[in-house]
Copies of this chain bind each other. A is one copy, B any other.
């Protein structure tokens, strides 16, 4: 029996991305975004939704670029911190003990401590009321050595990404339960 929860923004799993950009004065800024995901394969695109009041909103529109940084479980405190403090009040990179590295290909910094980072050019924006969806064209993905061979799949246990349980807590990824494009063949 199912019970109505009302019109709430809720899916499982939800990510906890660190989105990095240069603010209008050129200083690296950071925010946590749980609302987003892959948006297309060709061109490869990722979306993150950001409130217009955020410094990151202004920063991404000014530079037409951002990075999506995939934190691991060791960074849970930093991720949570970047979600509860404004870049207008604090240098979030410094306070969170994170290192801003100038991207090779886009006008945005990335987070050195994150195992996987996506360098993105702003491709489209979609006004969705409380949030603006920033759709980034993925120019390059970089992963720590040892996580991958020549490309996906990466070893998700080594990436050790955070899963956000909306309104609740952060989790690790757990056990593998089956190979994709394979286990479903039993039903064909």
A38-61 CB contacts (< 8 Å) to partner B: 38-47, 49
In the complex, are the beta carbons of B11 and A42 less than 8 A apart?
A: no
- How far is A46 from B37 in the complex, measured between Cα atoms in Å? 10
- Interface residue A108 (Cβ < 8 Å from any Cβ of B): no
- How far is A114 from B34 in the complex, measured between Cα atoms in Å? 22
In the complex, are the beta carbons of A179 and B168 less than 8 A apart?
A: yes
Number of copies: 2
- How far is A166 from B173 in the complex, measured between Cα atoms in Å? 14
In the complex, are the beta carbons of B11 and A70 less than 8 A apart?
A: yes
Residues on the B chain within 8 Å of A140, using CB:
4-7
In the complex, are the beta carbons of B9 and A44 less than 8 A apart?
A: yes
In the complex, are the beta carbons of B163 and A117 less than 8 A apart?
A: no
A residues bordering B, Cβ < 8 Å?
1-15, 17, 34-47, 49, 68, 70, 73, 76-85, 95-97, 116-118, 124, 126, 128-131, 133, 135, 138-145, 148, 150-154, 156, 159, 161-188
Given A5-B140, A8-B141, list of 11 further CB < 8 A pairs? A2-B117, A9-B44, A36-B39, A39-B47, A40-B49, A40-B131, A47-B47, A78-B184, A80-B178, A83-B184, A156-B163
